[in-house]
Amino acid sequence: MAEGLTRHLKSDHLIAYSAGIECHGLNPYAVKVMRELGIDISGHASKTVDILPTDDFDYVVTVCDNASETCPVFPARTRVIHRSFQDPPKLAENAKNDQERLKHYRRVRDEIKAFVLTLPQMLYN
């Protein structure tokens, strides 16, 4: 969701890539709640850092605690920033129905969106 929001809202200032420590597949609930904002991430794919087109990043933003703790080492000029968001699949594990599941995804999506709207200015602080 972070890559989709950043590309949609900030593509004039930032080039966004998303990668994790391991591949989990594209979550259909994430696709659905992003589509509600008019953002199609259905063509996105779960990927790991080692397959990104470059390792020459100005900034790396981790968005979950696990990623922050296991983030690979980047060149010294790369600034790594951590901003923790709860994991929607974990939040939705015990949901009784799809509406309850989607509520978690929407909340996290909206929190990520609020963060993305602070970019790139927040990166310079």
- Write down the domain spans for the chain: 2-120
- Rounded distance, CA 7 to CA 13, Å? 9
Entry pTM: 0.88
β partners of residue 19: none
Angle between helices 98-116 and 28-35 (to 10 degrees): 60
How many Cβ atoms are within 10 Å of 13's Cβ, its own excluded?
A: 11
If one looks up domain 2-120 in CATH, what number appears?
A: 3.40.50.2300
Reading the chain (125 residues) residue by residue, the pLDDT tens digits are: 999 999 999 999 998 988 877 787 889 999 999 999 999 999 998 888 888 876 678 888 888 776 656 667 776 788 888 899 999 999 999 999 999 999 999 999 999 999 999 998 888 76
Q: Tokens for 104? A: 């978690």
